[in-house]
Amino acid sequence: MNVFLRQLAHQYPDYRIILLLDKAGWHISRSLEMADTIKLLHLNPYSPEHNPVELLWRVIRRTYFHNKLFNSLDEVETTLQQALLTCHNHKDDVKKLSKGFLTN
């Protein structure tokens, strides 16, 4: 998690970033190294229906992975890349899915 936080702060040095997280152990660890530009906001426990990332993953799993057999890990990765690119290209659909978590 620290590697991710460092890379995020380095990639967006001029932004104030709020990360919406569940309370997984690595999200609440006392050993997290936080940049001044990053703030963590934690969801209530056991509330995946309030987590827009969980809602997005549910759609991706249902649309791209349901009842599909992959021949290799590369095939899984290619399918995931296609799913994420589709989400990137259809931002309005992702915003609707987020049910108000994202406003812009």
**In sequence order, what are the residues at sequence separation of 6 or more whose Cβ sits closer than 8 angstroms to the Cβ of residue 43?**
20, 21, 22, 23, 50, 51
Record the pTM. Answer: 0.56
More confident residue, 79 or 49: 79
pLDDT, tens digit, 9 for 90 and up, residues 13-62: 999 999 888 888 888 888 999 899 999 988 877 776 777 778 888 999 99
Tokens of residue 31, six digits: 């050993």
pLDDT, tens digit, 9 for 90 and up, residues 58-75: 999 999 999 999 999 999
The predicted pLDDT at position 99 comes to 66
The predicted pLDDT at position 103 comes to 52
